[in-house]
Amino acid sequence: MSSAETLNARAALLSVVIFLVLLGAWYAATASPGSAGASSTAGLSAEQIEYAKMMGKDLSAGKGSGFPTPLQMGQTIWTHLSNPFYDNGPNDKGIAIQLAHSLARVGLGFGLACLVAIPLGFVIGMSPLLRRAFDPFIQILKPISPLAWMPLALYTIKDASVSGIFVIFICSVWPMLVNTAFGVSAVKKDWLNVAATLEVSPLRKAFLVILPAAAPTIFTGMRISMGIAWLVIVAAEMLVGGTGIGYFVWNEWNNLSLTNVIFAVLLIGVVGMLLDLGFARLQKGVTYVE
């Protein structure tokens, strides 16, 4: 076994240990305190009991914390994953359907951003004049929170779903644009000089010299943009409602179902990790190792 394989095995083992420790801490924190017959409503006024129920807390014996146990969480996960495609109306859809709506919005907004950011970043990166001209606009627009665009999108587009796609587009453009321009401008001069010596046409030079050299940086920008897009779609769907994993989180919170909220949070994290791993593989595939 090589040193890299040994390191990966040890890291995996440590990850399992950390997971078991966290699971044990969760179990200990949600274990029923005191005797089984103790009442968790003792010493509480009627108003406090009513407020606790509104917050989703189970005030039966030994369950005063209201936070789900690992067993309850496991049951919730199994319930959702065993039938993920059901559709019982606008506010009752399977988790796979909700996730599909979110991924479709992210994919469409991200794809439109690629069509704009990569060609424009390519042109900007090849021209020092354009880099200087566009830089003030990029620096002003890049720090704006994507959700700050939502009111303007709703006012101008007047469609909640399309507005969510626009927000994904506007938050995905800047990392790709900046990284593409940087990658193109950072291509080694020796490679460009060789292309000039061989009298390679500008179009062939762009596709056969500059693009392969800048590809790792471009994919880095795409990877960053996808991470931001997946973050933003959850918050955007909470605002616009309808369908999607963000709407699912907000709807379950309104239903005071903490287990469903936690399940959705975990699912968002897993999907985000898989998206990042996918772009990491693509980035590794286009990276030249000397």
What is the mean predicted confidence (pLDDT) over 241-248? 85
Give residue-wise pLDDT tens across range 118-148: 999 999 998 889 999 999 999 998 888 888 8
pLDDT at 38: 40
Specify the higher pLDDT residue, 111 or 289: 111
CB atoms within 10 A of CB 266: 12
Portion of the chain with pLDDT greater than 90, in percent: 34
What's the whole-model pTM score? 0.81
CA distance 252 to 244: 12
What is the mean predicted confidence (pLDDT) over 241-264? 86
**Nearest 5°: CA angle at 68, between 65 and 72?**
145
Q: Are 229 and 175 in contact (CB under 8 A)?
A: no
* 163 pLDDT above the threshold of 90: no
Domains along the sequence of the chain with CATH: 95-285 (1.10.3720.10)
Burial of residue 18, with CB atoms counted within 10 A of its CB: 0-12 exposed, 13-18 middle, 19 or more buried: exposed
Q: Are 264 and 119 in contact (CB under 8 A)?
A: no
